Amino acid sequence: MYLLIPAAGSGKRMGADRNKLLLKVRSKTLIAWTLLAAEAASAISWIGIISQSHDWEDFKAILADLKLTKPVEFIPGGATRQESVYNGLQALPGNAEQVLIHDGARCLATPDLFNACAAAILHCPGLIAAIPVKDTIKVVGESGIIQSTPSREQLWAAQTPQGFDVKLLKECHADGVRQGWEVTDDAALFEKCGLEVRIVPGEETNLKVTTPQDLAIAEFILSNREQVTGDW
């Protein structure tokens, strides 16, 4: 299975002056934890890191320390996540039929989750890892007045990995460019094109590290894993 890791973001919301994936938790960078999970996932055979070229030197140094056995390629990132994934799709090997896309900032995803998504995408055109929403969600208007309260039974919080048929996703991205669509994930492109996207049960600990508070939570989760399993 081919894996693309969008890693071209900045650290603005983190309050950092560099790519947040270069920040450390438990002595390893965020991107290192993501790569170690991909390395340990038996289904993953190829990794593409989509990032800005000014980060490549740092990422290559991290890779040298990790000594991964799987091939890793660097792909130029775009101005948005959507553009970055588009670039990543064009850089996939010609024989790639399915692809997983996983945000580098979700550094707590386990090898089991990668493997589950890789197995499921062989039997559907598109999927996302997701978990049921626990909080009550309010739809709020511009004036700050609540407009409605949707039922939690139909609400799921989207995560990554997201998996897709490569040919179909390329077509969706091409449609997105032509139509000027701006979306926050690839599943939304699939939905706009009328294609089916299924749910694969995600992991409660698979948070996206965005703020300094998230770093502290990630530290706690990784520490707990080490104590419980003796592994990361």
pLDDT tens per residue across span 68-97: 999 999 999 999 999 999 999 999 999 999
What is the predicted pLDDT for the residue at 12? 60
Dihedral pair phi/psi, residue 85, rounded to 5°? -65, -40
DSSP code per residue over 61-114: HHHHHHT-SS-EEEEE--SSHHHHHHHHHHHS-TT--EEEE--TT-TT--HHHH
Q: How many CA within 13 A on the CB side of residue 219?
A: 11
pLDDT tens-place string over residues 41-70? 999 999 999 999 999 999 999 999 999 999
Q: What is the CA radius of gyration of the chain?
A: 18
Average pLDDT over residues 196-206: 97
Does the structure show a pLDDT above 80 at 9? no
Longest Cα pair distance anywhere in the chain, in angstroms? 54
Does the structure show a pLDDT above 90 at 116? yes
Strand partners, 5: 49
The Cα 203–Cα 210 span in angstroms is: 17
Mean pLDDT for the chain overall: 93
* Residue 230: pLDDT band with limits 50, 70, 90: low
* Domains detected in the chain: 2-229 (3.90.550.10)
Strand partners, 128: 162, 199
By the 8 A CB rule, do 169 and 98 touch?
no
- pLDDT-above-70 percentage for the chain: 94
Q: Which residues contact 182 (CB under 8 A, 6 or more apart)?
A: 80, 82
List of long-range contacts for 119-122, beta carbons under 8 Å, 24+ apart: 119/43, 120/163, 120/198, 120/200, 121/1, 121/163, 121/164, 121/165, 122/98
What is the predicted pLDDT for the residue at 110? 97
pLDDT tens-place string over residues 150-190? 999 999 999 999 999 999 999 999 999 999 999 989 999 99
Strand partners, 99: 2, 164
Tell if the pTM clears 0.85, that is, is over it.
yes
